[in-house]
Amino acid sequence: MSTTMIERIRATPVTVPLQAPLRHSNGAHWGRFVRTLVEVETSDGYVGLGEFGGGGEAATQGTESLIEYLRGHDVFRLESLRFAICNPTASLYNNRTQVHAAIEFACLDIIGQKLGVSVSEFLGGRVRDEVEFASYLFFRYPDPVTGEGEVRTAEQLVAQARALKASHGFRTHKLKGGVFAPRYELSCYQALAAGLPQDRLRYDPNCALSLGDAIEFGRAIEPLNNDYYEDPVWGMPQLSRLRDFVRIPTATNTVVVNFEQLAANVAQRAVDVILLDTTFWGGIRPCIKAAGVCETFGLGVAVHSSGELGVQLATMLHMGAVVPNLGYAADAHYHHLTDDVIVGGKMRYVDGRIAVPDAPGLGVKLDPEKVRRYHELYRELGGYPYDRDPGRPGWYPLVPNERWADPADGARPALR
């Protein structure tokens, strides 16, 4: 038994501004990310960091109240941590997967600090010291104050991709679609391929397309440099059917997000590439386990982004560093952020890659001044409805969608 027992859990919601609002099939990120930072303190004075998406009183309270379950828990006992708060049958009534992930991150951070090694070095050891990323292109509303940052036309999209390639070195570009009608987005995707002919591409409309539209879109892009076709339609049966018509690997972060679904996809293959999210899967270790299953059954693996600050990004980097079968550039929203809460500010991309932190544990520390500033911003602005579009009050999509945004509408919606 080690002496490194959990003694305190603290959760702090923060809001960090984005360069511009990011549009997606269900609404938008309204010009900012809201994230909850988690700090786990141990009896012998260590502090480990975690993070998950969203925030508010319920998230803070729900996280901090887990101390009643975890006071005295040895941080090295990661398997028992899973059963202590995330028992799969008890979780039918109380799903704590994301909070479990944040606490797992913090425990791994503490273990690493105590042992003096980075998380990736004790979770199997690194097979790479840096992780390559895709550009993650969004249609964006202009910033309501400056008017800058709009991406609505094919020309603006190609300009965004070229600018990101010039500044960060990306060689892979992911287009988040599902905003405009499929044929308009097809013309945008084709413009990207023409404008960046050496680079690789991927398209993700967040399941918004009908099977018919997805077949038409998929066949039209078959000759391009596609990594994969991500969640064009909703659900494994439709994804499976799509494979009869379109010769591009499919990928998902929506319908294979746990081990039961992974088993179903092995038994009857619907999707070729599993996008592993350190939060959705409940931690870095579940992602590494899932990557092992994927390796065994010949499924591809890539790193998913659900919107991250530096703590979460560190978990993605350590996971990416140890998974040998990582066949694709990772996704990150990170470059859309204007700042970060970690010491040293935003991590830097070099040649489209970010170096895996070397310091013990996750290798990142919170900058107290930044945390204070962005917690204040959270208190000032509050949350935002991720599944609403600030430019279309009262709107909501169907699945498959038919209520597309109008690409001729150059509105600059207010965001509060």
For the annotated catalytic residues, the residue numbers are 176, 304
Work out how close the CB of 231 gets to Mg ion at its nearest, in angstroms, rounded to a whole number.
5
- Residues 73-95: b if buried by 16+ CB within 10 A, e if exposed: bbbbbbeebbeebbeeeeeeeee
Work out how close the CB of 110 gets to Mg ion at its nearest, in angstroms, rounded to a whole number.
31
The candidate with the shortest Cα–Cα distance to 192, out of 180, 203, 207, 204, is 203
Residue whose CB is less far from Mg ion, 316 or 366? 316
Work out how close the CB of 169 gets to Mg ion at its nearest, in angstroms, rounded to a whole number.
23
The candidate with the shortest Cα–Cα distance to 405, out of 25, 41, 107, is 25
Residue whose CB is less far from Mg ion, 233 or 415? 233
Whole-number Å distance between alpha carbons of 8 and 337: 30
Q: Choose the binding region for Mg ion from 2-10, 127-135, 199-207, 391-399 (rule: CB under 5 A).
A: 199-207
CA atoms within 13 A on the CB side of 257: 16
Per the CB < 8 A criterion, the answer to whether 287 and 13 are in contact is no
Work out how close the CB of 164 gets to Mg ion at its nearest, in angstroms, rounded to a whole number.
18
The contact mask relative to Mg ion for 207-246 (x = CB under 5 A, - = no) is -----------------------x----------------
- Which residues in the 392-411 window bind Mg ion by CB under 5 A? none
Q: Choose the binding region for Mg ion from 196-204, 239-247, 347-355, 385-393 (rule: CB under 5 A).
A: 196-204
Q: Which residues pair with 326 in a beta bridge?
A: 301
- Which residues in the 241-280 window bind Mg ion by CB under 5 A? 253
**How many chain residues touch Mg ion (CB under 5 A)?**
3
- Which residues in the 9-68 window bind Mg ion by CB under 5 A? none
Residue whose CB is less far from Mg ion, 299 or 364? 299
Q: Choose the binding region for Mg ion from 122-130, 152-160, 203-211, 354-362 (rule: CB under 5 A).
A: 203-211
Residue whose CB is less far from Mg ion, 131 or 302? 302
Work out how close the CB of 253 gets to Mg ion at its nearest, in angstroms, rounded to a whole number.
4
Residue whose CB is less far from Mg ion, 4 or 401? 401
Work out how close the CB of 362 gets to Mg ion at its nearest, in angstroms, rounded to a whole number.
24
Work out how close the CB of 250 gets to Mg ion at its nearest, in angstroms, rounded to a whole number.
11
Per the CB < 8 A criterion, the answer to whether 361 and 119 are in contact is yes
Per the CB < 8 A criterion, the answer to whether 211 and 233 are in contact is yes
Instruction: Please report, to the nearest 10 degrees, the dihedral formed by the alpha carbons of residues 360, 364, 368, 374 taken in order.
Output: -160
Work out how close the CB of 176 gets to Mg ion at its nearest, in angstroms, rounded to a whole number.
8
Residue whose CB is less far from Mg ion, 228 or 378? 228
Residue whose CB is less far from Mg ion, 110 or 257? 257
Residue whose CB is less far from Mg ion, 109 or 308? 308
Whole-number Å distance between alpha carbons of 275 and 305: 9
Sign of CA dihedral 72, 75, 80, 81: positive
The contact mask relative to Mg ion for 118-157 (x = CB under 5 A, - = no) is ----------------------------------------
Backbone dihedral angles phi then psi of residue 406, each to the nearest 5 degrees: -95, 115
**Angstrom distances, CA of residue 250 to CA of 227, 228, 272, 396:** 9, 5, 5, 26
Q: Which residues pair with 303 in a beta bridge?
A: 276
Q: What DSSP line would sit under 62-124, residue for residue?
A: HHHTTHHHHTT-BTT-HHHHHHHHH-TTGGGTS--HHHHHHHHHHHHHHHHHHHTSBHHHHTT
Backbone dihedral angles phi then psi of residue 349, each to the nearest 5 degrees: -90, 135
Q: Does 389 bind Mg ion (CB under 5 A)?
A: no
Near Mg ion by CB under 5 A: residue from 204, 213, 227, 277: 204
- Which residues in the 297-336 window bind Mg ion by CB under 5 A? none
| Pairing label, strands 22-24, 250-252 | unpaired
Sign of CA dihedral 91, 94, 98, 103: negative
> Would you state the structure tokens that stand for residue 209, as one six-digit string?
């397309």
Give the footprint of Mg ion on this chain (CB under 5 A): 204, 230, 253
